[in-house]
Amino acid sequence: MTREYLKKASLTSKSNASETHNIVKGILDDIEAGGDTAARKYAAKFDQYQGNVLLTPEEIETACALVPKRLRDDIRFAHDNVRRFAELQKSTVGDVETEISPGFMTGQKVIPVDAAGCYVPGGRYSHIASAVMTVTTAKVAGCRHITACSPPRPEVGVAPAIVYAAHICGADKIMAMGGVQGVAAMTFGLFGLPKANILVGPGNQFVAEAKRILFGRVGIDMIAGPTDSLILADKAADAHIVATDLVSQAEHGYNSPVWLVTDDRGLADQVMELVPRLIADLPDVNRENAAAAWRDYAEVILCSDREQMAACSDEYAPEHLTVQADDLDWWLARLTCYGSLFLGEETTVSYGDKATGTNHVLPTSRAASYTGGLSVHKYMKIVTWQRTTREGSKSVAEATARISRLEGMEGHARAADVRLAKYFPNESFDLTANG
């Protein structure tokens, strides 16, 4: 059977994209021209905050003291898991070298970027886990300077739990500034900060657009859209758990898509009946977001079999992909496009979002078809080098000269010619393109 949409999204994440771009471009241009003063102006306008931009050691200590011990322990638990997973990832790359031809050595060197800017959302929700995910991985990678940036609240400042998380995870500076102005401050090196080489971390559409515009002059983790989540479920799945997991991700925002792909109509019907009831039971703000996301962006798709389900999932390339179906090993081997995969009912996206160690900064808007999420590798440059003896350069120089002339790049050819002439004055070489 063909794919059947039991529920179809009425909106996409591209709504109002041009308007957002124009607003963000104007703010960035203003701050680049006006520096610290312009950034403070936007902080006062959007954050309603006029306190210290860079937290002092005393302010950090005071904020940390406000965090309850149990929450401090939970943050340290999450930090330890993220750190250990990042260290494992780092161990998979390293410096290598090989003799590519006799006497000619080539190699790879792994160098961390110098300065990282980590954006930590702190508006509607205090994203403690984002501080853990972004700062920890930068620290493990070996970045010399790490700035954590988070929106302050009026008369309060940055949420104490975010300050605590950023501090224990290794942030060198914690900046009380949010939105486009925070991203701009890290990029342009305002308030005495080093200019960031890379910007990482989730944010709203304005933060995401700022990173998109600045990409090129600074590196970014990815161009992100609203968070999204897809569940693959068969008749063995628990409809209540499936529905709960969909709602848990829909609460991220009004435009956060959630998708259910199944080969069981009965399960689909149960889930569609349960979701509105579960949403209605959420607190006010969460309920508003989840209701809008479910109404406008959610889809329920009925497929003929698991192969069609897997193909559908790969086409959507979700940020988060959950499998609640039999034969998990088959799904692990078959699925190819996702930011992070959650296999079985016993785990859930919420675990990965908060504490398991795998990173929650992941590709959205089908970007998982070509990239993975934030990892220790994102902060590391893999560069190459070469060295050779004069004898070792001979065959390479000959090949370079002939290939260059065939391409019409005479200057390249002559760079090889002069070395052959100097190192082997008593030898003759046929360096013509058609020799």
Q: How far apart are alpha carbons 17 and 13 in whole angstroms?
A: 8
User: For the chain, how many helices (H) and strands (E)?
Assistant: 15, 14
pLDDT of 208: 94
- Assess contact for 218 and 308: CB atoms under 8 A: no
Are residues 290 and 327 located together in one domain of the fold? yes
8: left (phi over 0), alpha (psi -120 to 50) or beta: beta
Please check whether residues 114 and 233 belong to one and the same domain: no
Q: For residues 40 and 183, state if they share a domain.
A: yes
Chosen domain end from 152, 187, 221: 221
Q: 318: domain range?
A: 226-372
Q: Which residues are catalytic?
A: 319-320
Q: How confident is the model at residue 58 (pLDDT cuts 50, 70, 90)?
A: very high
Residue 259 in any domain: the answer is: yes
pLDDT value at position 435?
A: 60
396 in the same domain as 349: no
Predicted confidence band of residue 413 (pLDDT cuts 50, 70, 90): very high
Tell whether 73 and 165 lie within a shared domain: yes
Contact (Cβ atoms closer than 8 angstroms) between residue 177 and residue 183 = no
Q: Apex CA 296: angle with CA 10 and CA 251, to 5°?
A: 155
pLDDT tens, residue by residue, 278-312: 999 999 989 999 999 999 999 999 999 999 999 99
How many residues make up the chain in this entry?
435
DSSP string of 47-70? I---S-SBPPHHHHHHHHHTS-HH
CA distances from 43 to 39, 87, 351 (A): 6, 36, 33
Q: In angstroms, rounded to a whole number, what is the distance separating the alpha carbons of residues 392 and 101?
A: 7
Backbone phi and psi for residue 268, each to the nearest 5 degrees, phi listed first: -60, -45
Over residues 208-255, the pLDDT tens digits come to 999 999 999 999 999 888 999 999 999 999 999 999 999 999 999 999
Is residue 216 located within the same domain as residue 233? no
Residues 299 and 310: beta-carbon distance below 8 Å: no
Number of domains in the chain: 3
Q: What is the pTM of this model?
A: 0.93
Last residue of a domain, one of 171, 189, 221: 221
Cα dihedral: 74, 77, 81, 82 (round 10): 50
The domain boundary residue, chosen from 194, 221, 248 = 221
**Which residues, in sequence order, are CB contacts of 249 under 8 Å at separation 6+?**
227, 228, 229, 256, 258, 320, 349
